[in-house]
Each structure stands twice: as structure tokens, then as C-alpha cells.
Structure 1
């Protein structure tokens, strides 16, 4: 009878295991499995082609004797042996899962030993560098495991690596043994971690450490520019230390893990990844030139603060399921904005918050591809599609609204309770919002429903007698909010007035509105009035508050997107007012608008009419604006057309022209080289030789060699590059792939590259299945952003019509990344 019951249980288990990790499977495992720990061994050979032999001892408690389902997204032949107590254990392998029958298990403590060949799809393996990247569900691509965030485990790792390499992992390094041609690294057992946070990296690294505020901070890197190293290392250590100390003060909880190591990785897919003990960062964001502008410096600080805040929000307390991935991201971003305020006391941090979040949030939220902050997720294999601007940028805006609603103190006290109650465990958004509602006595349900669970942003337009809140979905929803109106009376006096919007129409009689929400207390797509455009065209540079000037540029840009401001007019306003703007943050955001408007929202005739004047403007600003030279230099490099400017960049690249106060780094040289070749294909062969002689950093040279063919003047070469990108084995370095695809679809190649669009869209599902979390959007942006034709718009629509049952989240990404085509060519706006 027991054998029959066992067989029935096994058959039921097999019926339930779909590919990926379903929500149903995750709930069943969580209810039955606990006390998990992994003892892991990986033998990493020097030769990239050789397999990585591995072994895992998995310890776990079973509360009920049922079949065990382990996740392993690899072929069955990678499983070499499964044993328990020294005896082989039979198993079934189905749909990326290892299923073990109950008769080989017991209630209480269990131990399995699995010998296997490590999966490599998440190993980012190159000649002398390898690093794991296992978010959101990719630990199962590396090794057999319970790959869901609410089955936390302790990890103890041993690595065999080539001599001359170094190893970094979550745990503290406790032992290194040296042999002739290899080393053994042993790392101490970690605190409980979700599987997506397990990490290690091996390869040739330089290492330095700093003792700051009674703790050691280790920094691993591959940077070779001595000036960058000397300028950056002290700042990296100082800012990590500052971020840790600030988070400890705010939460009342000491840093909850053993060590903090910075690992700077060239061409890293993300800005950073918050692995405890081995926090990965994109090297180019950390290591800056000595004369890096304020925007670049703050970007580094925000990144460090963001990843450090994750140690509490995400690592210490983790969401139960990846539908709440926004929960860890919102507090990492929200805390980062607070952390850097002390590092930059001279900066207007309300301005910085606005620039960091409002336009990036609206970039998706104003499109038909938007989605709620809190999304649905039935299977972890689709978790990567949840990431994007909404969770990284709209969520912090909404959280700041909540903080104003319940008070800064109440939010802090509520978050302290949240962290203590679910320490080294898991909680979801409902847990937190109910805790906050209970501790404050506030009814937060209405706020929660519209801001967290609903998608989209209102369009807010000022009429003669009322403020209209327009829901472009047609549902007539209302987003309650307070806004601050900056307006001029009939007598010429300037006023600022608060107004609460609670309905689709709010009475307001004043035609002299300049800025609809000058203090950015609200959120939405604010449209300019005729009066505001006229006023700003004359007086924008006379507005004293840099936040108001930034809001003004956002308002005018929104006007371009909504066909209330002509693109040519916007570009001319930039050339008129930017010479008076000294705030680097405002300059950089405005120039990003300028580049987009010039490349996307002007026709070819409009660009030609403005080209010479725009080039002259940028050259003049490079010569005369000491604080913003690099910003104008990069804008000129992006937009130039004339042979004269081409000669200017050749001289800079060859070291024949020095620009006072502006460092031309190796990264800059590569960008210049690509832009020169794009405009003059005769430079191709000589440029390859020049860069190979001018740059010594091997990582940068590999990057250059990979991307260079995508700027070739020979269409056959470019076609072969594109065809290669369609093959998964050629998409290992996603940063390089994105850059290559962007050059292939550069505005200068628009017409010739249109034929790539259908094939690029056809590959999207595979890109999502095989790539990292940001890669689907990056793939679409690189493939579509350079196109502006009606034909390109028709191709996108034809693809969507041909695939009516296309995965929802991927369809939304297509709609979001093609929104500029809709704005250019749709017969009428959908309301």
C-alpha cells in the first residue's frame, strides 16, 4: 500500500512540474521545506572551453514526506550522480526539474549529494574572468537548488581556481591553499540568503582594501588607468562606508552580513548587483576621470548607495515572490536619494530626485506599454520581464507621496518594525502596507489601489476655467494628488499656489500658468499652455530656482511629445537658454532632451537647417563652459555631421588637440573612433590599428573588436553582424550586443536597417528566455530607438497583429519602446 501511495505521489509531482518555477510549486515547497543549506564545490579550469565540475551537498528539513522537486535548467547529462548516505538515489528528470521519490527521503533532516557539471548560461565566462549573475531565477541554470526567494539558505563554498587568479564570494574568505597550478579558496558559511543572491567571481583582479569606520572594505577591479585608480579608490571606500553608516542609523540595525567587498566588472550588465559580501558594480561607473562632472560623480554615489541599501531591503528582508520585486528596488532607490544628500550638501536634492525619477518613470508610464507597480507573476521564468522604469523610478515617487502622507518619522518607525519582524526572512507588500496602516491609524487602501495596483499616469492640462485630469486609457480614473502651480497675475506678479486634484476637473481660473507643478509634489504628464510656452521662450533663463528650470524643460519636452511644441522650436530654445545654465544636472538632462528631439522629432530637412548652428553652438560651449565641457563634447560627438567637426575629433583622438579641463579617457577614444568610422567608412582599417596601439586595457580592446564591425560602411559586414546577434551563443556579453545593435540601427543607417526590425522582434522571446533581466528592453531600445519612419511603425504593428497571444509583458515592452513611432505616425492619439 505504501509503495502504491508513493507512486501516486510521484506521478502527481511530475504532473505539476512545468518549466520554470510555478507559483503553485513554490507555495507547496515553502509549506514543506525548511532549514536549507548548501555546501558547494566548483572546479574552474583555466581554459574557457573545459567544463566546470561541481558538487553540492543539500541539507533540508521535510515536515511531510512527499516527493522533492529540485530546479535545474540544464540537460540531464549534466547530472552525474545523486546520493544520500553514500547510496545512489534514483530520480526523474522532467521539465528542468530533478524529482526524488518519498521512499528515498525521511521526515525531518535530509541530506542529498549531487555531482554535476555546472550550467554556464549565467556564468559570464571569458578568458580570465568569470562571474555569476543569478537574478531572478537563474541559480537553477548553474546548479540544482530550490530556486525561489522565500526558501532562504546558508551557503558554504569552496572554489578550485587557476594559480594567479583571485576569488570573491558571499562569505568571508577563511582559507586559501596554494598548489603548483591552482588554488583552493574556502569561504565561510553565509547568513540565510535567497538563491538569486548567491554569487562568486574568479579571475585576474587587482585588490586593495580600506579600513573605514571600524570595518574593512575590499575593492576588486581590473582597471589599468592609474589616474582613475588613484582618483576613485578613496572615494569608493568613503562612499561605501558612508552608505553603510547611514543605513545603520536609519534602520537601527547593524550591517547584517559578514563582509562588504566591491567587485568592479568591465561591461557589467547592470549598474550593480547587491550580492552580500560580493557586491558587483559596473567598472566604468565606479572608476571616473579626475575631472568627471557632477552628474557622473552623483551617478556613482547613487549606485553605491542603492546597492548598499539593498543589504537591508532585499537581502536581509526579501520579498516572498518576484511579483514584489519592486519592493526591494523602491527602498534601495528611496534610501539612496536620502543617503547622498549628506555627501553633496551643496546640491539641490529635490532637483536631483526630480531628474533621477520623473522623466525615467514617464518614459514608460506615458506609453501604451505601461503597467502597475505591483504586477502579477505565475512563473519565475517570466520574472525578468517585470523589471523596468516603473519599479525603479515611479515607485520612489509614489513612496515619497506615502512618506508625505504618513510623515517621515512614521515611515521610518514602520520600516524598522518591518525589518526586525522579518529579519533574514521574507515579507510582501501587503505585510508592509498593513503594518503601516496599523501603526499610523491611516486608511491607505484607496491610495494603494490607484498608485500601486493601477497602471499609467494622468495627463494634466490647464484650460481657461479648470484643470483637467485625463485618463488616456478611457477608464476615467483619478489619481488624487497635490500640485504646486507657478503662475503670473494680470499685474505681472509671480505666485506659487498649492492645489489638490481630486476629480477629473478641478476649477481653476487663471490663464497665466507658467509651471503646472513647480515643486514636483504631484505626478503625471503635465502639458504646457500657450502662455507657458511664450513665457518660457523669453524668460526661462531668468528663473532663479534650478528645480523650476528643470521642470520648465520637462514641460517643454512633454509639449514636443504631445505636438504642442515644435521640435525645431525646442532645439532653438536649448541653444538660446543653455549658455546661461550652469547647473550640471540641469544641463545634462536638457541636452538629453535635445539629442532625442533632434534625432527623433525633426525630419531630415529640419535637421539639415539646424545642423551647422547646432555644431557651432556645441563647439562654443566646449570652449567657454568650464563646468559642462564633457556634456557638450558628448552631445557634439553624437550629433555632428560636417567634415570640419570630424577633423576636430580626429585631432582629439590622435592627441593633436588638447581641451583644457577635459580628460579624454580610453572609453572616450573608443566612442570617438566608432563615430568617426560611422561617418567615414574609409577610416575603418586604420582606426582598428590606431586603437590597438593607443589602448592597453585588454577588456576595452576586446570590447572595441567586438563592436567595430557594426559601424562598418559595408552593408554586407553589418548584415553578417546582425545575423550573428540572432544566435544565442553570440550574445554572451549583453552590453556589447546592445551597443552593436544600436550602431546597426543608428539614425544614419535608418533606411538600410529597417529590414532588421521584424527579425529583431522575432527573436525577443528567445532573448528574454536566455538573457538577463534588462536585456529584452535593451534589445528593443537598441533595435527601435533609431528608427522614425512610418514603415518602421507599420512593421511593429504588423508583428503585434500577427501575434495576438504574445506574452503580455513582452508585448508591453514592445509598445513602450516603439512609443516614439506611435507619436510620430498614429492618426490620432488614443484616449
Structure 2
């Protein structure tokens, strides 16, 4: 049979044979630091007698396999990470005993040792197909099953599963030897959990270790009391303890909002949230046991953008309990049904049920900006993406699946009406609870409640790739009265699809107090290549005509000439944060498309930052400013531009309110430059506590940010980095130190970082990420020139020898980071990348996609840089 990269065809074939699976899984976590024992009993029905199928399993050793009471030779039936099952009966029972490996890469069952106290923490991460790294399983989403888990672990640990604990008893050393012929270690207990409801295997979870814990309850809308818990490493207990009440409150607001909005109460027995170390994702929606990366625990001062993001993530994962967990896609082509919906709903809930009422501005600048970037790459795909195998799935956890999908759902709500939309969602959840569904199932319910035929809408919005550009054209008479307005819609040549848009047009004008406020708003429908907006004819032209006011649709925007001129000098005066975000995103999009000068964008952004208080908008603007100054400016003017930005950021930080979020973000951004003559003095003063910036708290993370910044300018030595780490040796600080060592702009540092990322198998996934990001984080194009050939000659080896997530970290397709030497001459990178692609036409789609994205990033840099070179001549 084919290999472990399950294809859609194989999954459909297996689902046509296998039904009604039930699992009893026993894990022994006391076998040492490398492996754990896994025993599973699977019962299932087969559609026809004598059929053949297979279980998925990735194990270091399969000890025994028994099918319907007959022992099978593991050497014969365990092939290519599959256990082959032949001669199936109408009802079958399979027993598998194996030794499986703990992970250091965040996949399967990850084992982490906290260097601050030596404590061991375990957690699982199974999306996409990694339950098979822990137990033998039919690892595909449409073979839902019930699961009975038991876990043997040290008695001092806490062990958590999807369900409440049924019993926790001391292990009898004499009677608990088990199939693997080794008794558990002394001083252990066996945790046995209640049977799960019907669920997909990728949503099962086990966490174990001496986690700190807090508990509360939620009075569920169906009359049940739902136990709730928060968990983290002991070393992070003081930091999380400060936020426990807040996080419980946010979660409970989410329970209430979702139950009210969909008319379906929370469906599961409990709700635990656990923060885990060295996580390779943001979070994971395991039923009743959500895992989060513990960078969401803030030991040091966090920006509002980070706090806001944590709220969104908490509510995103909670939304999955209904959409994705209760009702699950049949195959990964409908992954967007999970992620787009959770992204849309978490933003809506954050904006309407928490203090973060401007979260749609956060979504516009952050998530939608992510979507626009990825939607303009050659690797763009429909929201409903074609998924042929598991690797296709892994590369589709992207800005299109999450953010474009969420933005299009916002457009769908505007198109069908909010009440009709959520009634359709209610019907969908009720009809398909505890089972699997497809896009067609969802559209059927929405058509029934809205009365709209969504077939064509779905085709152009969900099943076609690419993005439209909406360009405004406005004519006025001598008195400023609008005589004509049209909106032109265009599409890229590769994806010539024009879409219907329901959008708003906002009028904004300067007020007597100096602010700029909205004075009128119109909702219109546009379709086709050009739409005349007759509703505006005869009205006095305002200072700014903002198409897509309130951000109802998904498109690139081009303001009319007069509006563009106005916002260049006055956007900082606009009161509405979402309106500012919409304009800022449009200005950035023009800059990266090479139709707006980089220097103009720098001037505009520094001016706008002076009054920006929306934290995520500021974070995103600072990121765009950095890319523009470092990568898009003309070579001759770049040193001057970098100095202007560095000095401008320091000036803005100095003028900001002491201790404010704005001051913190501006200072963090300033540390990314090092291009003014006072940089080292400013940085050293921060470390010494003598900085002229009042209110700055130089806590742990700020100290490491300063040291990293000094190292990036070759102003911090190895001994200084080591001395800082020796003050407090923690998981996080080891990662900071790794990045600081790697970021130094020297041949020796880059060679070291390259070797560590590729060949040090003792590093965790997070440490590899730090080394790789540090490698690409600073240095001249000459320093990186030798790594062009090294990178492309290493790609095949990385793909063959690393797990998917580590390969993605190293090859890192979309932005600065990874071992792609993006700071080298972009022309040379494009040439080398095109050669690799020409020579690897048959390479896996996921791998080719990473390289295509790398090459396109360099091609855009070259194109935009050439545009600005032309302006500088």
C-alpha cells in the first residue's frame, strides 16, 4: 500500500469500508525520557467480509498486533507507518501494543523539560494527522469514534484528557505488567477518563505533568454546570495567576455569546485551557482541553496588540467547540469551514462581548493584511482549497483559509442578513451535531433561511482564487458637488473573476475641532467591471470618500485622487479607528505593489503614528514601515531613509505618554534599526536603567530585546549574551539567547546558526525557530551571498530528513525568518529559485509551494525596489 501521506482517495476508500470505530487507549508515561508505551483496542465494522484496510501508526517499535484473536507478525503487517489488516469480518477487534517516541518538535506527544526547575511537561498536538504518533488509529476526520483513555503517570502529576476523570488509582506493580512486559515505575497512578462523545481523532488530547491549576464553573445555558480549568508550568504560575480571573471572564463571555448567537449551548462535559511550552502553533481546539502556546502568558509587559490577540485566540478556540468539533469537515478541503468561521466569530465576539470593541480594526490591519499578502502569491488558492493529501492540508493553514475566509464570511453576512445567517448556522449545527458535514450542507441551510441562491456567490467567492481591486472615480462641479461617481472592479490576469460586493461608502470631513469624522454613509451593491453610484450624485463632496467603509467586503482599494491627497496629510486626524485601518491597509498595499513611493509611505506612516492608539494597527504599521525602509527603498537613499525612520521612532517614543502601549511599541520598533549614531548609547542606557525615556520598564523581555538589537549590530559579544542567560536560565531565555547568538552579522555567527538549525537534533522546535530567524535577521547582502547556493542545495535534504513543521520553519516561505537568505541580492535569489523550480517540477506540491513563495517575495522586493530606484534618478 502507499505511504504515510494519506491521500483523499485513500481516505474515501477507507471510509467506504470502515464504520463505527471505538477505541480503548492505554498509555504508560513512566518508561523514561525517550519513549512511552501505547496499547490500543479498536473495534469497528467492515462493509464487506474479507476486505482489507489499515490503521495509522508512527512508532519506534510495534510489539504485537492481534486481529480478531489471531496474533499477527508485526514485521509483516507494520509497513510504512501503517498496520495492514486483511480478511476483515463484519465486526472486528484489533489490539496493538507499541513503543512510541516523545517529540521535541511539537508533533504527537511533546516532552519538555523546564530548565528553571527541571520539571517535565507533556502535551499532545494531533492536527493534521498526528494522533498516529501516539496510538494506532484510523486517522482521518470523517471516521469519528468514541474514545476511552487511561494514562499511567507519576503520582505527583496532573493528567488531563478530553473528558473528566472517572478514576485515579495507584498502580499495582505486580498486576500491571501489560502486553509490553514491563511494569510501570513505582509511585505511579492510573488516570481513567470518561468515554468521549463521537469525535474525530485529531481532536483527542492528553496533557500530563506537574501543571499549576485553577478551576471555576460555568452555568451552562442547558442547565448543566460546566467545570472550567486553567493550567500552566509551575515556573509561570505567578505570571498567569494575575490573569486567571480575566481569562475565565473572557471565556465565560464567549460561552454566553455563542450560545445566544447560535441558539446551541456548549455541548461538552468540561472546558480546560492549558498553556504549554515549545508549541508549534498558536493554539489547538481539542475537545474540552484546548492547548495554547505559553508565550500567551505574559511575564513581561505586553503590548495591547498581544493582549488583544490572546483574547481573540481564546474565543477562536472556543468557537471551534461548535464549529469544527461538534460538526466536523469530512475531509481537509473544508478546513476553511473550521478556521474561517472561528476567525470571523472570535472577532465578532471580541468586538461585541469584550472591552476590545474596536476588534474589526484589529482584524482589518492584522488578519486581512495577512490574507491580501498571501492571496497575491502564485500559490494562492480558493478558500475551498483542493486538498489531495495531508501535505496539501499542512500548507493551507494560511491567510486565505483563516483571514480571507473570515472576511468573505463577513461579506456573506452583509449579503444575506445577520439574522438569517445565524439562523442558518443554528440549523446547520443542530442537523449535523456529532457528525461530519460539507460546504454544500452549510449553504443549504443558509439558502433556506435567507431565500437567496448562493450557488453563484459560492462559486466566485469560495471556489475561485484571487482578489479584486476596487478603484474609485469621482467627478465634481466647480462648487464641489458630485456629478458622477463610479467604482471600477478589476482582477489579475491569472484569475479574471469579478465578484458581487455589498459595501458601504463613507463620507468623512474635517470638523471645527480639527478632527475628521464621518458625516454620511451609504450601502450599495456593485458588480461587474464598473458600477455607477448614482446615490451620491448631487451631494457635496466630502474631504474623504471611503469605499468599503466598515470593511464589509474583501478587496484591494484605490482611493480617488482627492481622497488620497487628503489622507496623506490628515489620516492621523480621522477619529474612527476602523476607517484609519482601512485607509492604512490600502496605502500599504499600494506601496508593496510599487504604485506608491516608498519615501512617501515612510513620511505618511511616521506622521500617522503620532496619533495612532489602536494597538494592532500600530503594530502592523510599524511592521510595514520596517519592510518599506529596509527592503523597498532605493539603494542610494536607503541609509538616509533608515536614519530618518530610526530618529523618527525615537522622537515619537520620547513624546509618547510614559509607560504607555504606544511608547512600548515605538521603542520595540526602534530597536529593529540601529541606523542612527545614538543607537548604542540609547540601548546601553536602557540596560543600565539610565534611559531618558520615562516610564519604560526594562523587564526580562525588554532586556533581551535590547541585547538582540545590540547583537544585530555586532555590539554584543558571546560573553554578554551568556552572562544574561546565566542570570535566569529558562525555556524562554534559552530561545532569546539562541536568537541573539544567531543574529550577529558575522560569518562565524551565520555559520553557527545555519549548523544549529539544520543539524543540532537536541534543539526543540522553538529553539530551531530562534536560530533560523536570527540567521536571517541581520547582515549585508554580501554576508548572505554564499548562502544562496547553500540554501537551494539543502532544500531536498531538509524535506527528506525533517518533520513537516521543522521543514516549514527552516524553509519559512512567507517573510523574514528561516534559513532563506532573503537579505541577499534579490535578483540572484530569483534566478537561483527559478532554477531549482525548473529542476524540481515533480517535487511535492507543499515543498514547491514554499520555494515559489520565497522566490515571489524576492521578486516583489526587486520589482518594488526598481520602481523606487526609478523615482530616485
TM-score normalised according to structure 1 size: 0.89
Q: How has the CA–CA distance of structure 1 residues 212 and 37 changed in structure 2, closer, same or farther, with 3 Å as cutoff?
A: same
Q: How has the CA–CA distance of structure 1 residues 184 and 494 changed in structure 2, closer, same or farther, with 3 Å as cutoff?
A: closer
Residue in 2 aligned with 1:169? 161
Residue in 1 aligned with 2:183? none
Residue in 1 aligned with 2:403? 393
Residue in 2 aligned with 1:231? 242
Correspondent of 2:529 among 491, 504, 509: 504
Residue in 2 aligned with 1:255? 266
CA displacement, residues 498-523 of structure 1 (integer Å, 9 cap, x when unaligned): 55331123357999875443332332
Residue in 2 aligned with 1:716? 748
Residue in 1 aligned with 2:513? none
Structure 2 Cα separation of the partners of residues 358 and 756 of structure 1: 33
Correspondent of 2:151 among 152, 159, 163: 159
SS of alignment partner, residue 247 of structure 1: helix
Structure 2 Cα separation of the partners of residues 332 and 460 of structure 1: 27
Are 1:589 and 2:620 matched, yes or no?
yes
Q: CA deviation at 1:541?
A: 2.2
Return 136-145 or 301-310, whichever deviates more: 136-145
Residue in 2 aligned with 1:613? 644
Q: CA deviation at 1:561?
A: 1.4
Residue in 2 aligned with 1:130? 122
Structure 2 Cα separation of the partners of residues 740 and 101 of structure 1: 47
Structure 2 Cα separation of the partners of residues 101 and 818 of structure 1: 47
Are 1:755 and 2:741 matched, yes or no?
no
Structure 1 Cα separation of the partners of residues 676 and 36 of structure 2: 52
CA displacement, residues 745-766 of structure 1 (integer Å, 9 cap, x when unaligned): 1243443224334544524644
Correspondent of 1:78 among 30, 44, 61: 61
Return 597-606 or 447-456, whichever deviates more: 597-606
Q: CA deviation at 1:72?
A: 3.1
Structure 2 Cα separation of the partners of residues 552 and 787 of structure 1: 32
SS of alignment partner, residue 145 of structure 1: coil
CA displacement, residues 459-501 of structure 1 (integer Å, 9 cap, x when unaligned): 3334578543222134532122134445699xx9986555533
Aligned length: 803
| Equivalent pair of 2:7/2:389 in contact (CA under 8 Å) | yes
User: What CA RMSD, in Å, does the superposition of the two structures yield over aligned residues?
Assistant: 3.1
Residue in 2 aligned with 1:360? 370
Correspondent of 1:150 among 142, 148, 165: 142
Q: CA deviation at 1:642?
A: 3.8
Q: CA deviation at 1:714?
A: 4.3
| Equivalent pair of 1:70/1:144 in contact (CA under 8 Å) | no
SS of alignment partner, residue 671 of structure 2: helix
Residue in 1 aligned with 2:233? 222
CA displacement, residues 531-562 of structure 1 (integer Å, 9 cap, x when unaligned): 34322222222323222222221222122112
| Equivalent pair of 1:745/1:787 in contact (CA under 8 Å) | no
**Gap runs ≥5 in structure 1:** 1-13
Q: How has the CA–CA distance of structure 1 residues 656 and 325 changed in structure 2, closer, same or farther, with 3 Å as cutoff?
A: same
Residue in 1 aligned with 2:832? 795
Q: How has the CA–CA distance of structure 1 residues 572 and 788 changed in structure 2, closer, same or farther, with 3 Å as cutoff?
A: farther
Q: CA deviation at 1:167?
A: 2.1
Structure 1 Cα separation of the partners of residues 243 and 636 of structure 2: 45
Q: CA deviation at 1:656?
A: 4.8
Structure 2 Cα separation of the partners of residues 674 and 715 of structure 1: 17
Residue in 2 aligned with 1:824? 861
Residue in 2 aligned with 1:116? 98
SS of alignment partner, residue 384 of structure 2: coil
Are 1:632 and 2:663 matched, yes or no?
no
Q: How has the CA–CA distance of structure 1 residues 494 and 381 changed in structure 2, closer, same or farther, with 3 Å as cutoff?
A: closer
Structure 1 Cα separation of the partners of residues 803 and 238 of structure 2: 40
SS of alignment partner, residue 726 of structure 1: helix
Are 1:408 and 2:418 matched, yes or no?
yes
Return 319-328 or 435-444, whichever deviates more: 435-444
- Please show how residues 560-579 of structure 1 align to structure 2 within 5 Å: 560-579=591-610
Correspondent of 1:321 among 320, 331, 334: 331
- Please show how residues 91-490 of structure 1 align to structure 2 within 5 Å: 92-102=77-87, 105-108=88-91, 110-120=92-102, 122-127=108-113, 128-178=120-170, 180-213=186-219, 214-222=225-233, 224=235, 228-287=239-298, 289=300, 292-345=302-355, 347-462=357-472, 467-486=487-506
Q: How has the CA–CA distance of structure 1 residues 726 and 585 changed in structure 2, closer, same or farther, with 3 Å as cutoff?
A: closer
Q: CA deviation at 1:286?
A: 4.0
SS of alignment partner, residue 125 of structure 1: strand
Structure 2 Cα separation of the partners of residues 616 and 684 of structure 1: 28
SS of alignment partner, residue 26 of structure 1: helix
| Equivalent pair of 2:629/2:642 in contact (CA under 8 Å) | no
| Equivalent pair of 2:813/2:853 in contact (CA under 8 Å) | no
Are 1:741 and 2:726 matched, yes or no?
no
Q: How has the CA–CA distance of structure 1 residues 755 and 171 changed in structure 2, closer, same or farther, with 3 Å as cutoff?
A: farther
Q: CA deviation at 1:306?
A: 0.2
Q: CA deviation at 1:240?
A: 1.6
SS of alignment partner, residue 367 of structure 1: coil
Structure 1 Cα separation of the partners of residues 559 and 412 of structure 2: 27
Greater share of residues in helix: 1
| Equivalent pair of 1:738/1:779 in contact (CA under 8 Å) | no
Q: CA deviation at 1:371?
A: 0.9
Structure 2 Cα separation of the partners of residues 565 and 752 of structure 1: 30
Return 60-69 or 333-342, whichever deviates more: 60-69
Structure 2 Cα separation of the partners of residues 664 and 61 of structure 1: 62
Return 198-207 or 606-615, whichever deviates more: 606-615
Q: How has the CA–CA distance of structure 1 residues 474 and 300 changed in structure 2, closer, same or farther, with 3 Å as cutoff?
A: closer
Return 244-253 or 513-522, whichever deviates more: 513-522
Q: CA deviation at 1:342?
A: 3.6
Residue in 1 aligned with 2:176? none
CA displacement, residues 208-227 of structure 1 (integer Å, 9 cap, x when unaligned): 22334443321110263566
Residue in 2 aligned with 1:806? 843
Residue in 2 aligned with 1:6? none
Q: CA deviation at 1:27?
A: 1.9
Correspondent of 2:732 among 693, 700, 705: 700
Q: CA deviation at 1:143?
A: 2.6
Q: CA deviation at 1:35?
A: 2.1
Q: CA deviation at 1:772?
A: 7.0
- Please show how residues 498-577 of structure 1 align to structure 2 within 5 Å: 498-507=523-532, 514-577=545-608
Q: CA deviation at 1:667?
A: 2.9
Residue in 2 aligned with 1:9? none
CA displacement, residues 199-249 of structure 1 (integer Å, 9 cap, x when unaligned): 112233222223344433211102635663332111111112221222222
Structure 2 Cα separation of the partners of residues 438 and 488 of structure 1: 38
SS of alignment partner, residue 143 of structure 1: coil
Q: How has the CA–CA distance of structure 1 residues 670 and 448 changed in structure 2, closer, same or farther, with 3 Å as cutoff?
A: same
Q: CA deviation at 1:777?
A: 7.4
Residue in 1 aligned with 2:679? 645
Residue in 2 aligned with 1:675? 709
| Equivalent pair of 1:67/1:99 in contact (CA under 8 Å) | no
| Equivalent pair of 1:514/1:535 in contact (CA under 8 Å) | no
Residue in 1 aligned with 2:19? 34
Residue in 1 aligned with 2:45? 61
| Equivalent pair of 2:311/2:350 in contact (CA under 8 Å) | yes
Return 159-168 or 330-339, whichever deviates more: 159-168
Structure 1 Cα separation of the partners of residues 806 and 257 of structure 2: 31
Structure 2 Cα separation of the partners of residues 374 and 219 of structure 1: 35
Q: How has the CA–CA distance of structure 1 residues 524 and 57 changed in structure 2, closer, same or farther, with 3 Å as cutoff?
A: same
Residue in 2 aligned with 1:8? none
Structure 2 Cα separation of the partners of residues 734 and 320 of structure 1: 30
Return 766-775 or 781-790, whichever deviates more: 766-775
Structure 1 Cα separation of the partners of residues 749 and 68 of structure 2: 58
Q: CA deviation at 1:686?
A: 1.9
Q: How has the CA–CA distance of structure 1 residues 805 and 691 changed in structure 2, closer, same or farther, with 3 Å as cutoff?
A: same
